[in-house]
Amino acid sequence: MQFDQMIAEMRRLALLAGDRIMQIYGAEDFEVRSKSDASPVTEADEAADALISAGLRAAFPDIPLVTEEQAETHGQSLSTFLIVDPLDGTKEFVQRRGDFTVNIAYVENGTPRFGVVYAPAKGRLFYTAAHGGSVEEKGPFGAQPGEVTPIGVNSMPDNRGLMVVASKSHRDAATDAYIDHYAVRDMTSAGSSLKFCLVATGEADLYPRLGRTMEWDTAAGDAVLRGAGGEVVRFDDHTPLAYGKPGFDNPFFIAYAPGVLLVRE
C-alpha cells in the first residue's frame, strides 16, 4: 500500500466535499430531515457522502468502506477499513455556526492510522502524513498541498491549569462533573472532530466525551491526535479506543495530551 497516495486521495476528496458543502451552506435555504435515530441529515451530508464514497471505492476497491450515510456499510465488525463522516457536526451546519468537518480515516488492525479533518467554514485542514506525524496545512487549498506545519500536543501540560475543550451541542452535567476533578485554567467549546484537532495543536489539553458517538465521528480526529502525540482512551478503563467494533458504537472516551494526569472515577 502506498500510504502517501492514500493520504493524497483522502485530502483531495475532503476538499472536494468541503467545496460542495459550502455551496449548500451558502444557499438561502436547504432541506433538513430527521433520520431514524432523530438526528438531522441535509442534502450537504448526502452530496458529500456520494462524492467521497465514489472516490474511495474507485481508488481503493479492495478496502472495505464504512460511511455514516450508508446503513448497508454498518453491518459487520472489521479490522482494517476506510471510514467516513461526510459532514460531522450537522447541527452546527444547520445552525450556521461553522464548526463542522469532513472526516475521512483509514483504520488498520483496529487503530486509526491515517486521517483527514477538514473544516471548510473555518479554513482549517489537518491530516496525518505518511511518516505518521500530523500536520496542519495553510490555505488557500489547491490540488497540490501548500504550506504545512507539523503539529503536536502540549508536551508538559500544567495540571494546575488545563485548557479543556468540550462539545458545543452535547455538553451535559456528567461532563461538567468530570471536568470539575481537574484544575482548569480555561474552557472552550467546539463542534465536530475539531475538538480532537484543538488538542492535537496544543490549543487544548483535555477533551472528555461522556455521551454517545460513532466511530465515523471520531476516527479521523483520533488519527490526527495520535499522530500529534496525543492519546484517546476509553473512559472506563483508560485503554486505547479501538475501532471496527460491532455496530461501530463508541464507549465514553477521553482525548488528551499524555502529560495530563487522568482522573479515574
- Kindly report, residue by residue over 95-106, the tens digit of the pLDDT: 898 999 999 999
Distance, CA of 118 to CA of 104 (rounded, Å): 9
Give the residue, 82 or 190, on which the prediction is more confident.
82
Q: Residue-wise over 164-179: b if at least 16 C-beta within 10 A, else e? A: bbbbbeebeeebeebb
Residues 57 and 100 in one domain: yes
> Residue 2: what pLDDT?
84
**Mean pLDDT of all residues belonging to the chain:** 92
For residues 82 and 76, is the Cβ–Cβ distance under 8 A? no
Q: Does the annotation place 132 within a ligand binding site?
A: no
**Mean pLDDT across 1-8:** 90
Do 146 and 59 belong together in one domain?
yes
The residue among 106, 35, 110 whose CA lies nearest residue 65 is 106
Q: In one letter, which amino acid is 41?
A: V
Rounded percentage of the chain residues whose pLDDT exceeds 70: 97
Percent of the chain clearing pLDDT 90 (strictly above): 75
CA separation for the pair 134, 225 (Å, rounded): 8
Q: Give the model confidence (pLDDT) of 136-147 as tens digits.
A: 999 999 999 999
State how many domains the chain has.
2
Q: Report if residue 104 sits inside a domain.
A: yes
The rounded distance, in Å, linking the Cα atoms of 76 and 192 is: 25
**How many angstroms separate the CA atoms of 98 and 120, rounded?**
8
pLDDT of amino acid 195 = 96
Say yes or no to pLDDT of 169 above 70. Answer: no
Query: Given this model, what pLDDT does residue 50 score?
Result: 96
What does the H/E/C string look like for 66-98? EECCCHHHHCCCCCCEEEEEEEECHHHHHCCCC
In this prediction, residue 168 carries a pLDDT of: 67
Last residue of a domain, one of 150, 184, 203: 150
Q: Which of 100, 130, 150 is the last residue of a domain?
A: 150
Identify whether residues 18 and 123 lie together within a single domain.
Answer: yes
217 is in an annotated binding site: yes
Residue range 186-199: average pLDDT?
Answer: 93
pLDDT at 1 over 70: no
123-164 residue pLDDT tens? 999 999 988 899 999 999 999 999 999 999 998 777 889 999
Q: Whole-angstrom Cα distance, residue 96 to residue 100?
A: 9
The pLDDT score that the predictor gives to residue 30 is 82
How far is the CA of 9 from the CAs of 116, 207, 257, in angstroms? 10, 29, 29
Say if residue 125 is in the same domain as residue 174: no
Q: Would the annotation count 88 as a binding residue?
A: yes
Domain match, 169 and 110 both: no
> Is the per-residue pLDDT at 60 higher than 90?
yes
Please report the pLDDT score of residue 156 as a whole number. Answer: 79
pLDDT at 234 over 90: yes
pLDDT for 72: 80
Give me the pLDDT at residue 154, please: 93
Distance (Å) of CA 108 to CA 63, 68, 78, 166, 202: 10, 19, 9, 28, 26
d(CA 12, CA 23): 17
Q: What is the pLDDT of residue 172?
A: 81
Helices 43-59 & 3-25 angle (0-180, nearest 10): 160
| pLDDT range class, residue 29, cuts 50, 70, 90 | confident
Contacts of 162 (CB under 8 A, 6+ apart): 182, 183, 184, 185, 205, 206, 260
Q: Is 206 within a domain?
A: yes
Q: Is 62 annotated as a binding residue?
A: no
SS3 38: coil
Query: Residue 145's domain is classified under what CATH number?
Result: 3.30.540.10
**How wide is the angle at C-alpha 114 spanned by C-alphas 193 and 117, nearest 5°?**
30
Containing structural domain, residue 180: 162-256
One domain for residues 234 and 108: no
Q: Is 180 annotated as a binding residue?
A: no
Evaluate if residue 37 carries a pLDDT over 80.
no
Q: With a threshold of 0.85, does the pTM exceed it?
A: yes
Same domain, residue pair 81 and 204: no
Q: Is 68 annotated as a binding residue?
A: yes
Please tell me whether residues 240 and 169 are part of one structural domain.
yes
Rounded CA gap, 75 and 86, in Å? 19
Q: Same structural domain for residues 138 and 34?
A: yes
Is 4 annotated among the ligand-binding residues? no
Q: Is 261 among the domain residues?
A: no
- pLDDT of 210-227, one tens digit each? 999 999 999 999 999 999
